[in-house]
Amino acid sequence: MAKKSNQKLKLLYLSKILVEQTDEQNTMTVNDMISKLEFYGVTAERKSVYDDLDALRHYGLDIAMRKSKTTDYFVASRLFELPELKLLVDAVQCSKFVTHKKSNELIKKIESLASYRQAQTLHRQVYVSNRVKTINESIYYNVDCLHAAIAENKKVAFKYFDYDIKKEKVYRKNGDKYFVSPYGLSWDDENYYLVSFSTKYNDFTHYRVDRMTEIEIFDEQRDPLPDREHFDIAEYTKKVFSMFGGEEVTVKLQFDNSLVNAVIDRFGKDVTIGKVDDESFYIWIKVVVSSTFFAWIMQFGNKVKILSPESVVDQYMDNIKEIIRHY
């Protein structure tokens, strides 16, 4: 009975063998396949294997054949090519919000999309252990819960904490839960943020997802956005620096021509650039004025200048004076 049952699974086992164990550099003959099938308790004749290969090709598996002294078979293309998988592994490695444990779990799953030997080459390039990672193990599931709340147009409840100098959690609001209306999740400055809207303050607020615990979807509709206002997470994150809140202002900035790449990296290729002279250009841009916006400006030294409005120029100068007074 076992053998008959396994015979019915022959096509599935053959597909598994080819996907997991073959690629352009690692091929397999029909005799090799017959031997591998025996490991799963399946007996096969050469003719039946040829028929199975044709069936798998018809199904969509890209099985290529190469003739030399022997006739060799391998899976020629996959849903993800090796460079694409490396890109995904890099993204997981660099994601600060994903813990070491979850990073290793995700990378193993990504490796399963390649052949066994390709997965080994991927694994040799994995360097997770010494990277700065979040220590909130539940963040992976927090993101999933928040996505669900946004899709269902529901509020969420959670506890929010900071770390003290002993690296221990200190909950805000004495551990009472926040009830907010989630409108988007943003990846900014190596952290995941929840962007929520408050009718009371008629403004958006942000919360670090890795500092949220006990998240639950609350059975209440989100606070609606003001009339005619549409929330665009991409546009929103362009004008908010490191997710620090503040007053939204349209500012005019002047840059040295050498900084055009930095401007496009920050605001995108759609930003309108005007010529000041042969050495500099200007832009008009909506930003949320905050200390992090000033810090972004300050990193370029005398190669950038805030031209208007005057109130933002004054704030920037006060910010510089305050820093100088600290020394």
pLDDT tens digits along 245-254: 667 888 999 9
pLDDT of residue 60: 93
- Could you report the per-residue pLDDT of 168-226, keeping only the tens digit for each? 889 999 999 999 999 988 877 667 888 898 888 788 888 888 889 999 998 899 988 88
Last residue of a domain, which of 164, 196, 228? Answer: 228
Instruction: Average the pLDDT over each of 26-30, 79-83, 313-317, 320-324 and give the range with the smallest value.
Output: 79-83
Q: Domain check: are 41 and 10 in the same one?
A: yes
Phi, psi of 211 (to 5 degrees): -110, 15
Is 136 within a domain? no
Last residue of a domain, which of 14, 47, 75? Answer: 75
Q: Domain check: are 91 and 61 in the same one?
A: no
Residue type, 218: F
Number of domains present in the structure of the chain: 4
pLDDT of residue 2: 46
Q: Domain check: are 259 and 210 in the same one?
A: no
CATH number, domain of 42, equals 1.10.10
Is 132 within a domain? no
Is 235 within a domain? no
Burial 203-241 (b: 16+ CB within 10 A, else e): ebbbbbbbbbbebebbeeebeeeeeeeeeeeeebbbbbb
- Give me the residue label for tokens 């993204």: 91
Is 87 within a domain? yes
Distance CA 120, CA 114 (A): 9
pLDDT of residue 288: 82
Distance CA 249, CA 106 (A): 41
Query: Residue 290 — very low, low, confident or very high, per pLDDT cuts 50/70/90?
Result: confident
| Cα distances (angstroms) measured from residue 257 to each of 82, 300, 304 | 39, 12, 10
Instruction: Average the pLDDT over each of 54-63, 74-83, 139-148, 316-325 and give the range with the smallest value.
Output: 139-148
Last residue of a domain, which of 175, 196, 228? Answer: 228
Is 143 within a domain? no
Q: Identify whether 309 is preceded by a cis peptide bond (ω within 30 of 0).
A: yes
The better pLDDT of the pair 287, 228 is held by 287
Name residues whose C-beta falls within 8 Å of residue 69's C-beta, 6 or more positions apart in sequence: none
Print the domain residue range for 309. 247-325
Question: Rounded to the nearest 5 degrees, what angle is found at the Cα of 193, between the Cα atoms of 189 and 194?
Answer: 160
- Residue 63 above 80 pLDDT? yes
Q: Domain check: are 272 and 293 in the same one?
A: yes
Q: Domain check: are 200 and 254 in the same one?
A: no
**Mean pLDDT, residues 38-49 taken together:** 92
Nearest to 320 by CA among 301, 252, 249: 301
The better pLDDT of the pair 239, 102 is held by 102
**Mean pLDDT, residues 142-152 taken together:** 88
Is 61 within a domain? yes
Q: Domain check: are 267 and 283 in the same one?
A: yes
The better pLDDT of the pair 119, 230 is held by 119
Q: Domain check: are 185 and 117 in the same one?
A: no
Distance CA 175, CA 173 (A): 5
CATH number, domain of 305, equals 3.30.70.240
Is 203 within a domain? yes
Is 133 within a domain? no
Distance CA 139, CA 203 (A): 25
Name residues whose C-beta falls within 8 Å of residue 160's C-beta, 6 or more positions apart in sequence: 171, 172, 173, 178, 207, 211, 212, 213
